[in-house]
Structure 1
């Protein structure tokens, strides 16, 4: 199923999402990002949103703009952040400061060569961290992106993509449940 097909399945109460999805998945609606970066971020956010039909549709669309290796980078970001976001959200939320001093001891080798550009991987990681609600990781990835020379505009664009993709997943899943 294509993105257009899924968009047409959005219920009337989610009509703003139809418009927002078209917008954020275009260079005009995601200032500072290339079409490839937009699709890498969208794929990572779709994976994190856990709605399989949307993930498949975004992956299909993304394949028209990014290489298999670059799309694998989005998958690496989604899987590694799926782990890290839980761990670091715990460290941030628990009142016992000792946890922050302990070594995480979680393998993250894929981060050293995730596929594609480091900035694209960081954008995808930022988007997944936002979907997963890990403030500590969001802050860390935002700082890394700033060190790589990105301004606030492309970073905000990545977050807007994550927000809309996640909202579309929620609305479509609810539409499935409502039947």
Structure 2
């Protein structure tokens, strides 16, 4: 079992060579702060449901960011697992009957993250992109913009989520 990002990258077969390079790139400097970068990576690893990848990224993140960031990444992954199913359903069905009904889903952590509201929204955006919920992606992108987030930060968060998810798939399939 891999215990560092580097050893995890080495587990990826030649067919996933692009992912080896991409994982290294998204975890290095970008428009994202270290908290945004590592929180996004951890949240997307959790969302991608690969225990090895999740543990490696959580361990690496602990060396770079505070515990509040990691807890917010966990919370974002869990909340988006719920919200993305619910809101994707409402979007796909497109019926006003469901639009009129209240969600009645508790999600207060979104309004009161332990770290930064902007960071939490970036984690939620990336997880929503991984889960493919158009309505949530649009909503989180708008909230990030309103909070002063840049198109580069949004792009880098989604890019990080895409790479982390790709690595999870490659590990699971033994590509």
Which residue in 1 is equivalent to 2:4?
2
Deviations 1:39-69 (CA, angstroms, capped at 9, x unpaired): 0100001000000000000000111111111
Shift of 1:113: 2.1
SS at match of 1:85: helix
Which residue in 1 is equivalent to 2:23?
21
Ranges of 4+ aligned residues in structure 1 off by more than 3 Å: none
| Unaligned runs of at least 5 residues, structure 1 | none
Q: Distance in 2 between matches of 1:46 and 1:124?
A: 11
Over aligned residues, Cα RMSD in angstroms? Answer: 1.1
| Unaligned runs of at least 5 residues, structure 2 | none
Q: Distance in 2 between matches of 1:131 and 1:153?
A: 18
Which residue in 2 is equivalent to 1:11?
13
Shift of 1:159: 0.4
Shift of 1:125: 0.3
Shift of 1:110: 2.0
The number of equivalent residue pairs is 173
Is 2:105 the partner of 1:106? yes
Shift of 1:11: 1.1
Which TM-score applies when normalising by structure 1? Answer: 0.94
Task: Trace 1:59-138 onto structure 2 (pairs within 5 A).
Answer: 59-138=58-137
Which TM-score applies when normalising by structure 2? Answer: 0.96
